[in-house]
Homo-oligomer: A and B are copies of this chain.
Amino acid sequence: MNFIDRLRQAWAAQQTLLCVGLDPDPARLPAQLASSAYPIFEFGRAIVDATADLVCAFKPQIAYYAAARAEDQLEMTIAHIRRHHPAIPVILDAKRGDIGSTAEMYAREAFVRYQADAVTVNPYLGFDSLQPFLDYADKGVIVLCRTSNPGAGDLQDMASGGRKLYEVVAEKAARDWNANANVLLVVGATYPEELREIRSIVGDMPILVPGVGAQGGDVAAVLANGATADGTGLVISSSRAVLYAGSGSDYAQAARSAALKLRDEINLCRKT
């Protein structure tokens, strides 16, 4: 089954659009994990097990693992999800982008080494930099479109012939890059108007929406502007607001409570 079908199954089976992002900052790990041989993995596993029935996907952010020299713990985390929560797809947040021959290596990193179900990619280098990822037809390729950060507009809002750069990316994603029906987009929750425009361009293509929680995106606006007619089409990701909801011995329970609240808030805004 391909990634988008897996995502649709998870939306339906679990009745949730929530994705929990795994951004394990070593400076913020619970003190009780300090003596563990694999504290980043133990943290991720606890978060995963505490929230797996509330999410449609998990999204580990590779930068946190790489900075900590902990690629092995990323492998362990993804393997844990695949073994114990096989219905929940894994999105590797890596935002890779390079020339074709190098992109082949990055695709191998994401899909073969880490066994991720989808990966985020950067479109700046154009189609041939995406092709090696797209060739994995069963995997999801999630292209940055309008990102959630304050400087997103520096380049992405550049306008040409009445169309902004992020709109060009959305059009190319929907029309030129989607031969294997495995493309998705990233649109930040912090820019709901742009989300509405992009939804109008890409039909029912699923959109990964980071930026609720710590970054301040509004859930109601995301649903109103980004959901498809059936009340799905979105993977709404929260990382820090869930991961660091608590810092004591009950951190996993605190993360579950935060995820539960956010899942319910999202579902209240769905128009199904």
Q: Which residues of A contact B (CB under 8 A)?
A: 23, 25, 61, 63-64, 66-67, 69, 71, 95-103, 105-106, 108-109, 112-113, 122-129, 144, 147-156, 158-160, 165, 168-169, 172, 215, 240
Once A95-B97, A149-B129 are accepted as A-B contacts, the answer to whether A63 and B102 lie under 8 Å apart by CB is yes
Contact A125/B152 with A158-B160, A160-B160 known, Cβ cut-off 8 Å = yes
**Given A63-B102, A106-B67, is A124 in contact with B155 using a C-beta cutoff of 8 Å?**
yes
Could you list 20 further interchain pairs (A-B, Cβ under 8 angstroms) beyond the known A64-B102, A126-B147?
A: A25-B105, A63-B106, A63-B109, A66-B105, A66-B106, A67-B112, A95-B96, A97-B97, A97-B124, A99-B147, A99-B149, A122-B124, A124-B147, A124-B156, A125-B147, A125-B149, A126-B152, A129-B149, A155-B168, A165-B165
Q: Quote the shortest CB–CB distance from A69 to chain B (angstroms).
A: 6
How many copies of the chain does the oligomer comprise?
2
Q: Are B155 and A108 in contact (CB under 8 A)?
A: no
Whether B155 lies near A165 (C-beta < 8 A) is yes
Please, could you name 19 A-B residue pairs with CB atoms under 8 Å apart, sorted by A? A66-B105, A66-B106, A66-B113, A67-B105, A69-B113, A97-B122, A97-B124, A122-B124, A124-B147, A125-B144, A125-B147, A125-B151, A125-B152, A126-B151, A126-B156, A128-B150, A129-B149, A154-B172, A155-B168
- Chain B residue with the shortest CB-CB distance to A61: B102
If over half of A's interface residues share one DSSP class (helix, strand or loop), that class is named, otherwise mixed; here it is: helix
What separation, in Å, do the CA atoms of A269 and B40 have in the docked complex?
Answer: 52
Complex: how many Å from CA A106 to CA B153? 21
Which residues on B sit within 8 Å (CB–CB) of A71? 66, 69, 71
- For A128, the chain B residues whose CB sits under 8 A away are 149-151
A129: B residues at CB distance < 8 A? 149, 151
Q: Which of A122, A154, A169 has the most CB of B within 10 A?
A: A154
* Residue ID in chain B nearest A214 by CB atoms: B101
Question: Closest residue of chain B to A64, judged by CB?
Answer: B105
